[in-house]
Amino acid sequence: MIKNFLKNCRKPQGLMGRFVAKGMNAGHTEISKWGISHLRLPRDAHVLDIGCGGGANIRRLLTMCPAGRVCGVDYSEESISVSRKLNAASMGTRCEIKRASVSALPFEDGTFGAALAFETVYFWPDLATDFHEVNRVIKPKGIFLICNEICDPANTVWTSRIDGMRIYSKEELAGLLSGNGFSVLESWTHTSGWLCIAAIKCERDDVALA
C-alpha cells in the first residue's frame, strides 16, 4: 500500500498521483526556496524546469524573471496537468509546460539560459546521457542547477520503498556533470543535509584533451 503510494513520487499517476503532485508543491517549499536562492537570473531569462512536478518552481521562476519565459517538462500526465493549472495565468504567454522525458527534450539546441532539476535526478534513466541532453538545450555558459534532499547513497530508506530510485552523492553528481559538458561552479550543503549543485555549460574551447 505504502509502496503503491510512493511510486507516485517517481511518476505521479491517476488520482493518487494528482494528490502527490500537489503535495510535493507544499512538501518541497523549503528545499525549493533554498535551492532557487542560489540562482541569479536576469529579468528576461529563459529557464527550463525539468521534472517540474506540481509546478511550484515554475511559478517561482516566473516571479523571479518578470520579463522572462519559463518552460516546464515532466513525463507524468498528472504532473503536467497540476503544473498547468497552477500556472494558468501565464500559460501561452510566458509559460509553456510540455509532457516529455528528460532523455528527449523537445527543444532546439541552446534554447535556455538556465535549467533546473529539483528532486528528480534520482529517477532519471541514465544520468550521463540525460545530462548530455540537458547540456544540448542550454546555451553556452548557461547554468544547470540540481537540488536533492537525499544525498547519501548508503541511505536505503527511500530506495527500498520506491522502485527505480537511485541516490547520488555530491561527488558522483559532480563527476557526471564534468564528464558531460558541464563544469561544476559551486555546491552548497544545507544543515538538513540537502545538496544544491550549480554547473555551467562549457564552451567548446573549454574542453581540452589530456
Going by C-beta distance under 8 Å and a sequence separation of 6 or more, which residues neighbour residue 173?
121, 127, 146, 148, 195, 197
Residue among 50 and 174 whose Cβ is closer to ligand SAM: 50
Instruction: Give the whole-angstrom CA distance, residue 49 versus residue 118.
Output: 8
What own/partner pairs with CB < 8 Å and gap ≥ 24 does 151-157 have?
Answer: 151/189, 151/193, 151/194, 151/195, 152/193
3-state class of 120 per DSSP?
A: coil
Measured from the CB atom, the residue of 76 and 81 that comes closer to ligand SAM is 76
Q: Is 19 in the site for ligand SAM (CB under 6 A)?
A: no
Contact segment (CB under 6 A) with ligand SAM among 45-53, 107-115, 183-191, 192-200 equals: 45-53
Binding of ligand SAM by 75 (CB under 6 A): yes
In this chain, which residue has its C-beta nearest to ligand SAM? 53
Q: At closest approach, how far in Å is the CB of 183 from ligand SAM?
A: 24
**Torsions phi, psi of 199, nearest 5?**
-130, 155
* Total of residues contacting ligand SAM (CB under 6 A): 23
- What is the C-alpha to C-alpha distance for residues 71 and 162, in angstroms, rounded to an integer? 27
Judged by beta carbon, residue 6 or residue 91, the one nearer ligand SAM is 6
Rounded distance between C-alpha atoms, residue 175 and residue 56, angstroms: 29
Q: Interface with ligand SAM includes 133 (CB under 6 A)?
A: no
142 binds ligand SAM (CB under 6 A): no
Q: Which is closer to ligand SAM, CB of 100 or CB of 202?
A: 100
CB 166 within 8 A of CB 159: yes
Q: 116 and 92 in contact (C-beta within 8 Å)?
A: no
Q: Applying CB under 6 A, does 151 fall inside the site for ligand SAM?
A: no
Is residue 68 at the binding interface for ligand SAM, with CB under 6 A as the rule? Answer: no
Which parts of this chain interact with ligand SAM (CB under 6 A)? 9-12, 24, 28, 32, 51-53, 57, 74-76, 79, 101-102, 118-120, 123-125
